[in-house]
Amino acid sequence: MSDHDSAGEGSETLTPAAVDDLAAAYEQAEPFDLVEREHVDTLPPALAAGDFGRRDAEWVVQWYYRRRAIPDADRRAAEEQFLDNDYEVLVDAITAAAAATDRERKLEQLRSLTGVDVAVGSAFLAFLHPETYVAIGEREWMGLYHAGELLDSPPPSFAAADYWRYLDTVTAVADRVDRDLWTVYRALWRLDA
């Protein structure tokens, strides 16, 4: 049994080796891995400087929704709602989020956009500041739950307080296993696969 196999009652232990194995499985199995890595490198400076096109911002929304088990009509509706944002408003909100000094203000700026809730806002934060933020979703939350890191299942919709609790937990795991946040994020995604 490997060190990330079930330790009884369905719980998983997030050790450094388990996180590495799960992150490697993510690279092998997830279709967005390569383009995601590219965007983690290229989007942060472009978003922060306001040097991005509408399609770059749309990509973040699409990345969030297209990886999830969401009915196609719901996904399309959510993506189309985001397109209602005026481009200048979009740039202003994203650059203000990048420049804000506290995390609450960052998320608040992003949530001012049409079609951006806490979950989609967290995806923008992940591509604005990948060293500090990761996206939230039911699957990632359930990975933490199965690992015994969060003691409750995910709420039906995420409030800001849920995101901060989730993010603090992911950060604590990353610190404990000495891995960056995105590696832990990828491991959590695979943990609940």
pLDDT tens-digit profile, the chain (193 residues): 334 333 333 456 899 999 999 999 999 998 889 899 999 999 999 999 999 999 999 999 999 999 888 888 988 999 999 999 999 999 999 999 999 999 999 999 999 999 999 999 999 999 999 999 999 999 999 999 999 999 999 999 999 999 999 999 999 999 999 999 999 999 999 997 7
Domain range for 40 is 33-128
Compute CA distances 32 → 16, 22, 44, 127, whole Å: 23, 15, 18, 14
Q: What pTM value is reported for the model?
A: 0.91
In this structure, the answer to whether residues 59 and 85 fall within a common structural domain is yes
Residue 178 tokens read as 């000495």
Total number of domains in the chain: 2
Last residue of a domain, one of 128, 146, 164: 128
Alpha carbons 165 and 148: distance in angstroms, whole number = 14
In this structure, the answer to whether residues 177 and 105 fall within a common structural domain is no
Residue 1 belongs to some domain of the structure: no
Q: How many CA atoms lie within 13 A of 142 on its CB side?
A: 10
Residue 3 belongs to some domain of the structure: no
CA angle 160, 34, 43 (to 5 degrees): 50
